[in-house]
Structure 1
Amino acid sequence: MERPIAQLPKAHLHLHFTGSMRHPTLVGLARERGVQLPQSLVSEWPPKLRATDERGWFRFQRLYDIARSVLRRSEDMYRLLREAAEDDRAAGSGWLEIQVDPSGYAARFDGLTATLELVLDAARVAERDTGVGIGIMVAANRTKHPLDAKALARLAAQYAGRGVVAFGLNNDERRGRALEFEGAFRIARRAGLVSAPHGGELQGPRSVRECLDELSADRVGHGVRAIEDPYLVERIATQETTLEVCPSSNVGLGVVERVEHVPLRRLFDAGAPVALGTDDPLLFGPRLAEQYETARAVFGFTDPELAELARMSIRGSAAPDSLKKGLLAGVDAWLAAPPPQAPAA
């Protein structure tokens, strides 16, 4: 018998704010707010997605924007973060980094600063109520002007040490190269924030290299297409740059055809630090524990290897050192305990 995944301490480093929403919460809030959801977000959920062309990405973004539109009141934001933390706790996660672009909510919640402060307070309440540590990543949108990213970086820097732990860059890689956002990331790094841009998802190794060279990335969101360049993978392993690999998302967006094509095993065996994440479970379905179950069932990860995946997620996180120490000790205890015995016939 294998050890229970949900009892393995871990950290969750790749989760988007709106995309963390539970499906029943989306449906319920849409009903309360009078928002008409497409069938792909109701009876045909999770939606069939493919974002390898512009039309596919537009459809993905449209569904995301519809989901965001149901979050209209401050209590909705508190609920979303509490439920995200509850789901992480159920999966064995003791630390959650959730990324949000405040500009997506600023018009509704009195501006960028007020929106970020609302999210930070909701995180503090969720942390208190669930026991899961929460850090906020402020993430810029690479389809917008780099000056917008600089404004977000300055805002994030103001709250460094007060709940904001990282600065990210998301959305379609094909519409904004990492090097264009070097100025924003320089501001964030000066404030001591973790640099965690998306790269190597819909574009290849060049996208990852720019994250490393131009943005001094500590982590790379996705990064799976680094596997196309063995020298790049060796560099990632040597520099200990954590890749936030999200298997369900890679399949859902058409980065790979089938989950067994995700290069998780190859990256791990090459020594690249990997932190499993969910990206947007609202749109892709599976949550954090299922990503570890996939590593076990599809890629043949043994319990010692799953424990190392968990350690990588913890080491790559921005969690306080004391929390990291406790979580790592928990991983060792999980592995040291004998696996459960099969019931007698």
Structure 2
Amino acid sequence: MPSPVARRPLETLPKAHLHLHFTGSMRHGTLLELAARDGIHLPESLVADWPPRLSAADEKGWFRFQRLYDVARSVLRTPDDVRRLLREAAEDDAVDGGRWLEIQVDPSGYAARFDGITAFTELVLDAAAEATHLTGVPVAVVVAANRTRHPMDARTLARLAGQYAGRGVVGFGLSNDERRGTTADFAPAFRIAERAGLALVPHGGELLGAASVRTCLDVLHADRLGHGVRVVEDPALLARVAEAGVALEVCPTSNVSLGVHPDLSSVPLPELLEAGVAVALGADDPLLFGSRLAAQYATMRAAHDLDDATLAELGRMSLRAARMPETLRSVLLGEVDAWLAAPPPDA
């Protein structure tokens, strides 16, 4: 019987984390502790039945997912809570080999409790700088608008993001259920962010098919796409995404949990890689999906029998797609090469 192939540890593979939502990054233990502190009742699906069983196959399923997210957001009551969340997110990424983190946040969801969107954004940026100092993982911020809110709100957030471009904010996104609202209506907000030099990183090609990817490219001028996996449904568009170098932030565990794909082996990572598409694996919302950064690499390794050379290239692609300084990128790409060159344990 042949010996099993030795595998290098994925926790030591240098990688960038480009798809992580702010509240969704919270540790489950932190959620329970903060809720107990303030007497906040949590549904059983966030306590004994965690991680919750989710689906976004229909509007009701997405509403349940969003309701759980809103409950989790409610436990963040003080500036120290915000600082703790960002520090712990960076700590968790450090354990998983994360060497750069771009965390996505919609300030309007926290404005009422933290003195407005500007004050909250400044708190997040200060907390991100503190987390960077304490953990050694650089933490950058993507300001994201909400598809379920008015496009004028998105313009306000784009102007806010532009004010902090180069001061911790690196991108502008668009999140929530892409079946809601009209993506093209958010084009003016993305033009504001584009003029500010921010990365344009809307969600698309997750709950809707390949046509939503085309809209994000043609109308929003996306540099990267949150998810984007359903681009495989259109071979011509798939080739266009590859040729344009638009990276996809693929979140395997999230896709399966929400019913985008029935199981991990159905996540079309091999098809994307074969087409030459850049892929950055991300955890999306570990609080709700129960799976962090390194686990995304581990699940894809197991589901698709990926070798270490392919996993190293996934690490490189995440680093190339990140909005990090070129000097740091060069160093980290060299560290990926060193990871692959080192013999695996027990080889």
Give TM-score scaled by structure 1 length.
Answer: 0.98
Which structure 2 residue ranges, 5 or more long, are not aligned? 1-5
The whole-number CA distance in structure 2 between the counterparts of 1:50 and 1:138 is 26
Which structure 1 residue ranges, 5 or more long, are not aligned? none
Residue from 249, 255, 258 that aligns with 1:250: 255
The whole-number CA distance in structure 2 between the counterparts of 1:239 and 1:155 is 28
**1:224-253, Cα deviation, whole Å (9 max, x unpaired):** 110100111100110010000000000111
- Give, in angstroms, the shift of residue 177 of structure 1: 2.8
Partner secondary structure for residue 108 of structure 1? coil
The alignment covers a number of residue pairs equal to 342
1:96 is aligned to 101
**1:175 and 2:180 equivalent?**
yes
1:273 is aligned to 278
- Give, in angstroms, the shift of residue 262 of structure 1: 0.9
- Give, in angstroms, the shift of residue 340 of structure 1: 1.2
The whole-number CA distance in structure 2 between the counterparts of 1:329 and 1:278 is 24
**1:187 and 2:192 equivalent?**
yes
2:72 is aligned to 67
Q: CA RMSD in A?
A: 0.7
Residue from 207, 229, 234 that aligns with 1:229: 234
- Give, in angstroms, the shift of residue 178 of structure 1: 2.1
Counterpart contact for 1:97–1:135, Cα < 8 Å: yes
Residue from 305, 319, 323 that aligns with 2:310: 305
- Give, in angstroms, the shift of residue 166 of structure 1: 0.3
1:291 is aligned to 296
The whole-number CA distance in structure 2 between the counterparts of 1:309 and 1:96 is 16
2:3 is aligned to none
Moved over 3 A (4+): none
- Give, in angstroms, the shift of residue 111 of structure 1: 0.4
- Give, in angstroms, the shift of residue 338 of structure 1: 1.1
> Kindly, what percent of the aligned residue pairs are identical?
65
**1:187-238, Cα deviation, whole Å (9 max, x unpaired):** 0011110000000000001100011001111100000110100111100110
2:126 is aligned to 121
The whole-number CA distance in structure 1 between the counterparts of 2:188 and 2:51 is 37
**1:207 and 2:221 equivalent?**
no
Partner secondary structure for residue 173 of structure 1? coil
1:9 is aligned to 14
Counterpart contact for 1:5–1:289, Cα < 8 Å: yes
The whole-number CA distance in structure 2 between the counterparts of 1:199 and 1:186 is 18
The whole-number CA distance in structure 1 between the counterparts of 2:232 and 2:121 is 36
1:57 is aligned to 62
Give TM-score scaled by structure 2 length.
Answer: 0.98
Counterpart contact for 2:148–2:177, Cα < 8 Å: yes
Counterpart contact for 1:177–1:207, Cα < 8 Å: no
Partner secondary structure for residue 122 of structure 1? helix
Query: What code does the residue aligned with 1:235 have?
Result: R
